[in-house]
Amino acid sequence: MTSNASRTVLVAIIALSLALFACADTRSKGESPAGAPDPAPAGLDRTAAISASSGESPSATGTANTQSPVPAQAAPSDQAARTARLTEDERNTIEVVQKTRNSVVYITNLQYVRDFFYSSDQPVPQGSGSGFVWDDGGHIVTNFHVIDEGDKFMVSLPDQRQVEASLVGRDPTKDIAVLKLNERVAGLDPVTIGTSRDLQVGQKVIAVGNPFGFDHTVTKGIVSALGRAMPGAGGVTIRDMIQTDASINPGNSGGPLLNSSGELIGMNTVIVSPSGASSGVGFAVPVDTVHKVVPQIIQFGKVIRPDLGGITFVRDEVARRARIEGAVILEVSRSSRAYDQGMRGVYRDNFGRLLIRDVITGIDAMKIKSWDDLFTALDGYKIGDTVTLTVLREDKTRRVTLQLVGTD
């Protein structure tokens, strides 16, 4: 009996201890430490919990606010982050490159060569260069020396496709030529035509081309000088060329020179380098000259220039050897207005010697020292204009008035 009673008391004590422990644990979970706000019940967002702690109702109905938390400001994308790290000049260059990426092409000049073993003509690459899209008609502008002596022309497009092109026309005196793609190609963007009239030394320029066959290569520099004169492929001087320090190498010829707005201001043409180095000082034909020549080539297949009509001239190097200053007349056509005005070319005397008669030393107010000077001067006139020539013969000067005619 005593044993059973003891056992009963022990069980009761254990049960009472467990009950007291459970009550203490429940109280510790249900109450916050003194002075601390109660945590938000399950289902309440942080805003609701703060409202509850300040004594405000979390909602107009008294129910818990179950809206999603207000998201933090979105982090910038990787592209935006990269752009933000660029300088203003870098961003501008990238914009110009992106604007013209579908405007620049690579040109391969092929010449047919007789194959000794197969007794047939095979196209062999004999030159290459760059070009740019002129219009939506598939016309491509490049340098004359890029396509010179070529029989077939392949144009590599920005998407790496190759399309054959035909020669529309050329102007060797300005080192300009125009090709036309033999098939319709979508996705090409004509360049935006700017002007070279208001260029300033020091302004930024961007050259795009395919030097050494590396397509769509971009270099940057400044306008180093203006009004330069360089020997052209046509035997006369190309005037008003743009000098730049932007890197130009073999293969850049015919590519566009752009300003910071992505406008065409010139066509990369000539490299002058010491000791035959592949890179050096670059020169570009000004866009105003390109814009004057290209539409004529597209329309007529050639350039129609103002000319004196019926007069041919002695080459300048021959005149220089003879120490004669001016444009030396070689021959005058009998059917020309110049012949009617008494102008004559060289002749042979009784001993068979060639003697010079008329030399043009001026046109209007301009002094003429060579045929090159006269050619450049005539370029500033229009067909139908009347000019007054200063003509020297045997140390005597006279004036001859002629109306300019068109010639290619």
3-state secondary structure of 52: helix
Query: What's the pLDDT at 236?
Result: 85
φ and ψ at residue 318, rounded to 5 degrees: -70, -45
In whole angstroms, give the CA distance from residue 158 to residue 101.
Answer: 7
pLDDT digits over 181-219, tens only?
999 999 999 999 999 999 999 999 999 998 877 777 899
- Which residues carry out catalysis? 145, 175, 253
Per the CB < 8 A criterion, the answer to whether 267 and 141 are in contact is yes
Across the range 401-405, mean pLDDT stands at 97
Beta partners for 402? Answer: 387
Query: What's the pLDDT at 284?
Result: 96
Beta partners for 401? Answer: 388
Element (H, E) at 84: helix 78-84
In whole angstroms, give the CA distance from residue 241 to residue 39.
Answer: 79
In whole angstroms, give the CA distance from residue 370 to residue 276.
Answer: 29
pLDDT digits over 385-395, tens only?
999 999 999 99
Ramachandran category for residue 172: left, alpha or beta (phi over 0 → left; psi -120 to 50 → alpha): alpha
- The average confidence (pLDDT) of the chain is 83
Query: What's the pLDDT at 8?
Result: 56
Query: What's the pLDDT at 67?
Result: 45
Per the CB < 8 A criterion, the answer to whether 329 and 313 are in contact is yes
What's the pLDDT band for 400 if we cut at 50, 70, 90?
A: very high
In whole angstroms, give the CA distance from residue 170 to residue 187.
Answer: 26
Distances, alpha carbon 342 to alpha carbons 241, 337, 339, 387, 391, in Å? 37, 9, 5, 16, 11
Across the range 109-130, mean pLDDT stands at 79
pLDDT digits over 48-107, tens only?
333 434 444 444 444 444 444 445 454 556 767 777 788 999 999 999 999 999 999 999
Per the CB < 8 A criterion, the answer to whether 316 and 370 are in contact is yes
Per the CB < 8 A criterion, the answer to whether 201 and 224 are in contact is yes
pLDDT digits over 267-309, tens only?
999 888 766 555 578 999 999 999 999 999 999 999 999 999 9
In whole angstroms, give the CA distance from residue 240 to residue 381.
Answer: 17
pLDDT digits over 231-278, tens only?
876 668 899 999 999 988 888 899 999 999 999 999 999 888 766 555
Distance of CA 208 to the CA centre of its chain: 5
